Every structure is written in structure tokens, then in C-alpha cells.
Amino acid sequence: MYCAYKIRIFITRRMVIEPYLYIINLNIKKIMTLGYEFQYEIEDRIRKNGFEVFSEQNYIDDVELKPRDIDIVAIQKKESSNPRGNQLSLVIECKYLDQDFTCYSRPNPKDERVYFIDGYNIQNLHDKSRFHFFNIDPVIKNINLTKNKDEDENESSKRKNSKNNLLGAIMQLIKALLYLRGNSRILHTKGLFYSLVVYKGPGKIIDQDGNELKNFLYYRNYEWKEPYTDENVISRNIYVDVIHESHLEEYLDRIFKIEMDYLMDYVFFEKRMHENKAQERIENQWRNSAM
């Protein structure tokens, strides 16, 4: 009698629970499929804009010391006489958002120590406003999942800690960028390097005042330590761009034609200045020897 009672409870619970589990699994598979299709679409669009595209690049998480993948690394190389080259590099995560997020903004510090340029002193660049980081105000400092009306605190906490959310994508980008910038790795070059989240989906992003955001700039400090080494912790200030996929081409056009071109103008100006000085020295030596 007791065993039969337990069996009836077990059967009843399976009949009630399993349909819900089946629906949840279907939703997860659907989201994963949409995510992969979205990533491949973004890769093609970036490639058409003249970038060399590398998919699923591996990096080591500096905290968990585990290998992870970043969706896309995109590179556009520029002319250079330097062995480390000059290139515009993008580290990209593609996100299909099926949940809403609330963002909290602060004034942009317009931090000139921000980590996005290598090989050149930003203090020597006369027009810093060419770089979009210094033109956007405010910036986002905190991101939370928007709590559903019927959701309890435990469910909200589980979703907030999920790695498949917007903040998780941003943190992946920061870790991947810092790792791939290491010696002898794919991004160990001179030039510009940006972190970018491209998203689409039914999920909405709103600020603390209830305004919907399509694009925003995220800013934070990150304490980085090279995995599996005794190197000291390095503090990096980093901006991360978050844009809706409908603005991708506009974004790529700006950073290439305005920001990278400005840097290259500076590079060639400095090169001409050095060449002119070298020519003057040769001419002076020739004059002195002639006298």
C-alpha cells in the first residue's frame, strides 16, 4: 500500500514536471540556435567591411584558470614599418537577449589612461575627441537583470549570477582582450584595440530612469593577472561598447575612417618629421665637411 502510494506520487510528479522540462529544453535549444546563427551573420557583415575574422578564439580565464572561447576577433591591418605592425583590432561577443536589463549610469571620466591604444602616447595625440570614448556621456557602470513581476528573490539571484547574461558577456570580453594582448598572441600589436558586444533579440535595455537604450558605453577598472605566472597584478581601465546589431556598419565605419585613420595620420606625420630631421643632419654634416 505504502509503496503503491509512493509510485503514484512519482508518476504524478513526472507527468506534471516533465512537460515543463521539455519546454525549457526546447527554449534553451532555440536560444542557442538563434545565438549561433546571429554570430555567423555578424561574422559575415564584419568580413564584408574589410576585416579579417577569427572565430571562437581561445583564452584563459585569469580567475578560474580555465580555457574559454570568445566569439570573434576581427583585425584590419594598416601599413607599418614597425615589426609589431599597426592594426585595428576588435574583440566581439554576440548576444541574443531574451531578458530585460537595467543599467545604471555615471558621468564619463574621459579617462586618458584607458586601455585601447598601444605603441603611441595618447598625450601626444592633439585631438582626442576623434576617439568616441571621450565623446559619450554618461557611461554605464552597473548592469542588472530586470526583475520579473512574478519572480521571487531566489529566482532573480540565479538569473543575475548566470554567465549567459549581458554583464557576463562584457566580463568575457575584458578577460579575452587582456589575455590576447599578451606577448606573442594574436593582438600583441601596435594600434587600436576595442571590445564590443553586438546584440539583438526581444530583451530590452533600459537605464535607471526607464529610458530604453540601443547603444551604450560601459566603463570599469579590472585587476588582471597573467594566468599561470608569477607576474604582478595589473590594473586596467577599460571601455566596452555595447551596440544593437542595426548600428554595426555605422560603428565599423566610424572607428576605421575616423579613429584609425586619425592615428595613421599621426604615425605618418611623426615618420615625416623623423625623416626630415635625419635629412637635415645629413645636409649639415655635408656642409661641415665641405667647409
Tell me the pLDDT band of 81, cut-offs 50, 70 and 90: low
Tell me the pLDDT band of 147, cut-offs 50, 70 and 90: confident
Query: Within the chain, what is the greatest distance between any pair of CA atoms?
Result: 121
* Bigger pLDDT: 84 vs 63: 63
**What does each C-alpha distance from 216 to 31, 108, 137, 212, 219 come to in angstroms?**
24, 11, 9, 11, 10
Tell me the pLDDT band of 156, cut-offs 50, 70 and 90: low
* Domain assignments of the chain as residue spans, ordered by start: 23-290
Instruction: Give pLDDT, residue 276.
Output: 45
Contact 74, 92 (CB under 8 A): yes
Q: For strand 67-78 and strand 52-60, is the pairing parallel, antiparallel, or unpaired?
A: antiparallel
Taking the C-alpha atoms of residue 45 and residue 53, their distance in angstroms, rounded to an integer, is 10
Q: Is the peptide bond before 202 cis (omega within 30 degrees of 0)?
A: no
The model's pLDDT over 218-265, given as tens digits with 9 standing for 90+, comes to: 999 999 999 999 888 999 999 999 999 999 999 999 998 888 888 878
Contact 239, 218 (CB under 8 A): yes
* Bigger pLDDT: 181 vs 151: 181
Instruction: Give pLDDT, residue 182.
Output: 92
Evaluated on CA atoms 278, 280, 283, 288, the torsion sign reads negative
The model's pLDDT over 38-49, given as tens digits with 9 standing for 90+, comes to: 999 999 999 999
What is the pTM assigned to this prediction? Answer: 0.78
Phi, psi of 165 (to 5 degrees): -120, 180
Whether pLDDT at 152 is above 80: no
Cα angle 167-21-23, degrees, rounded to a multiple of 5 = 80
Instruction: Give pLDDT, residue 269.
Output: 43
